[in-house]
Structure 1
Amino acid sequence: MSRGQLSSPDRKPLIAVVDRANRALQADMVRSAHRHGFPEIKPAHNAVFATLGTAGGRAIDMAERAGITRQSMGEVIREMVGLGILEMRPDPADRRAKLVTYTEYGLQVAGSGKSRLAELEQRFDEEFGAAEYELARDVLQRLAGLLDRLAAEEAAVDG
């Protein structure tokens, strides 16, 4: 094959399939929030909802779990503080750091999202059957773990 040519795959690459499923889930969560009376929710907010527990968390840890930069996470957090969904206060474990927590309103928004996720899980279970759906979840988790191990191995070789 000459430079600049790509072979035409018989099927979509796995990265495209996973990306499409992720984008569909993310869009569904935003549409659900809008339907349930939270029209201010945007796709970028999903990174916070996916990484912030009810006890709160630090922006740097949330950014790492979301796979985005600390600056990007900080921007989304500040926007959500402005919307009254989150608040920031000194972290009792490290007074120099800030702890991000939900406001009462934010707990309502997050609770609505958790309810939607439960509905989707039930729907997927019904659609694919419990065994097949559990297998799909397991394979995706194992793929992520394998990719993490490969990255660590490459870092060790390069480092």
Structure 2
Amino acid sequence: MSRGHLPRPDRKPLIALIDRANRVMQADMVRNAHLRGYTEVKPAHNAVFATLGEEGGRAIDMAERAGITRQSMGEVVRDMVSLGILEMCPDPADRRAKLVTYTEYGRLVAGRGFERLIELEQRFDEEFGVAEYALAREVLDRIGGLLDRYAAEETEVG
């Protein structure tokens, strides 16, 4: 069987650049939590910190926003409940569902994480300049919007 030539980009693919930046930032968040004394924080917890608002939320909605399965999110939530970071109670809007919220300790841990994000944003502004960094953020946001639009167009055609 003949093996054809695989088409390859002439530069590192954007998806590889975005993936590396994401992995490095996620690792930084965990490392920073550990440096601040929150050694129980694990990389998997980033999915919760990134998707749980102050008012709480349902695990199914958080899983969808994080792009992971409901089962995976449930496992992470249960782990964080056992660590005292989260609690679950009946959802007042739907008693069959559970509402995930931060404990007081969890609010402290999450708050420190958000402080780190603010610090990184400020450092990136200083490193790249406010205008250049704002442009990078805008381009990434627009790429997400374009990909959503392309997917919708392909669904309509298919």
Using the size of structure 2 for normalisation, the TM-score is: 0.95
Aligned to 2:18: 18
Q: Structure 1 unaligned segments of length 5 or more: list them.
A: none
Give the 5 Å matches for 1:64-143.
Answer: 64-143=64-143
Alpha-carbon distance, 1:5 to partner: 3.3
Alpha-carbon distance, 1:157 to partner: 2.8
Alpha-carbon distance, 1:149 to partner: 1.4
| 1:100 partner amino acid | V
Measured in 1, the distance between the counterparts of 2:62 and 2:4 equals 39
Q: Structure 2 unaligned segments of length 5 or more: list them.
A: none
Measured in 2, the distance between the counterparts of 1:81 and 1:140 equals 34
Measured in 2, the distance between the counterparts of 1:5 and 1:44 equals 38
What are the Cα deviations for residues 69-90 of structure 1, in whole angstroms up to 9, with x where unaligned?
1111111101101111000000
Change (3 A) 1:30 1:4: farther
What are the Cα deviations for residues 63-118 of structure 1, in whole angstroms up to 9, with x where unaligned?
11111111111111011011110000000011111100000110010000000000
Deviates more, 1:68-77 or 1:148-157: 148-157
| 2:132 partner amino acid | E
Measured in 2, the distance between the counterparts of 1:52 and 1:22 equals 19
| 2:149 partner amino acid | R
Using the size of structure 1 for normalisation, the TM-score is: 0.94
Measured in 2, the distance between the counterparts of 1:5 and 1:76 equals 42
What are the Cα deviations for residues 1-59 of structure 1, in whole angstroms up to 9, with x where unaligned?
x7453345332101000000000100000000000010011111000000001100001
What are the Cα deviations for residues 110-154 of structure 1, in whole angstroms up to 9, with x where unaligned?
000000000000000000000000000000000011111112222
Aligned length: 157
Change (3 A) 1:155 1:9: closer
Change (3 A) 1:88 1:4: farther
Q: Structure 1 runs of 4+ off > 4 angstroms?
A: none
**Are residues 1:48 and 2:48 paired?**
yes
SS in 1 for 2:50: helix
